[in-house]
């Protein structure tokens, strides 16, 4: 079991489960004594959509964002690469994007920051037979926000924080990370790790791969989709998820051009792999 999975299981054992109608009190604003306190020395795992929003907000490439603002934790038990936000190197280990008045990228803050103080778990992450996601409150000891009088349900908090758009993309990514291929313990090669990382996290490099390699000479991608993924990072992410399903999981999500398929068949016949 990976260290990340172990921590998840400990959290889920400790905190009561909530449904969408569950109520809680919480508030976060400059008047709260601990304001900005939770934005330091914390592990924030970034989703592909988080990176797309943040690199656009900062007006930098995904390559530049990954280099300056992220780290990749090494865990030999992780079946695929994950990305974490890099905190500052000072003693406080503060978030690089937090200023005296709060988050400087608030409108494009990551999913985990939007959700707090809520956490979310899915059946595939817990190994349980239930088919429903469930929520829980993460009560950080330093957080004074729970003393505020603002009343929320899980549902109203998520709507207020603009989580829905992040959730939609998060579910598509989760369908990849919780794929049976990984759950059955199958590993991926170093080359596939690079491909997974590029398609999910380094979208600008993935776009270059699609348009400036032999990719479009080999695969059928109609002009409408080409125009869309050239201009829209979200469309490109979804295209990347399809590519992972094809290139790593072996699913029929991409169409090879007939002449390429014929050449491949001839090659296999010459090698004696087809009769």
Q: What is the pLDDT of residues 165-212, one digit of tens each?
A: 899 999 999 999 999 999 888 889 999 999 999 999 999 999 999 999
Q: Where are the alpha helices (DSSP H) in the chain?
A: 3-14, 48-58, 62-69, 111-115, 123-126, 154-160, 163-177, 180-183, 190-200, 203-211, 215-218, 223-231, 233-247, 258-270
Section 121-144 average pLDDT: 73
Task: Match 């037979």 to its residue by tokens.
Answer: 129
Q: What's the mean pLDDT when you consider all of the chain? A: 88
Show the tokens assigned to 268. 């296999």
CA 121 to chain centre: 14
Query: Of 142 and 222, which is predicted with more confidence?
Result: 222
Identify which of 120, 127, 103, 198 has the alpha carbon closest to the alpha carbon of residue 164. Answer: 120
Q: How far apart are CA 207 and CA 81, in angstroms?
A: 19
Q: How far apart are CA 177 and CA 187, in angstroms?
A: 12
pLDDT of residue 183: 87
CB 145 within 8 A of CB 29: no
- Residue 220's pLDDT band (boundaries 50, 70, 90)? very high
């Amino acid at each position: 079991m990976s260290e990340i999975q172990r921590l998840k299981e400990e959290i889920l054992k400790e905190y009561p489960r909530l449904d969408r109608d569950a109520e809680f009190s919480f508030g976060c604003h400059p008047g709260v004594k601990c304001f900005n306190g939770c934005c330091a020395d914390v592990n924030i795992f970034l989703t592909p959509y988080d990176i797309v929003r943040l690199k656009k907000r900062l007006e930098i490439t995904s390559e530049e964002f990954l280099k300056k603002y992220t780290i990749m934790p090494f865990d030999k038990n992780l079946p695929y690469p994950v990305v974490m936000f890099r905190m500052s190197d000072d003693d406080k280990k503060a978030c690089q994007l937090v200023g005296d008045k709060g988050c400087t990228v608030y409108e494009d803050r990551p999913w985990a920051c939007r959700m707090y103080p809520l956490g979310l778990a899915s059946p595939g992450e817990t190994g349980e037979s239930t088919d429903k996601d469930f929520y829980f409150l993460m009560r950080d000891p330093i957080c004074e926000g729970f003393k505020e009088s603002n009343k929320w349900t899980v549902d109203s908090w998520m709507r207020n924080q603009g989580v829905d758009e992040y959730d939609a993309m998060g579910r598509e990514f989760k369908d990849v990370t919780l794929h049976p291929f990984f759950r059955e313990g199958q590993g991926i090669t170093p080359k596939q790790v690079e491909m997974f990382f590029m398609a999910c996290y380094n979208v600008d490099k993935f776009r270059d791969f699609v348009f400036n390699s032999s990719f479009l000479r080999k695969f059928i991608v109609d002009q409408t989709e080409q125009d869309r993924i050239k201009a829209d990072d979200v469309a490109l992410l979804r295209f990347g998820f399809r590519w992972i399903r094809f290139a790593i999981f072996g699913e029929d999500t991409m169409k090879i051009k007939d002449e390429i398929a014929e050449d491949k068949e001839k090659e296999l016949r010459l090698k004696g792999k087809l009769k």
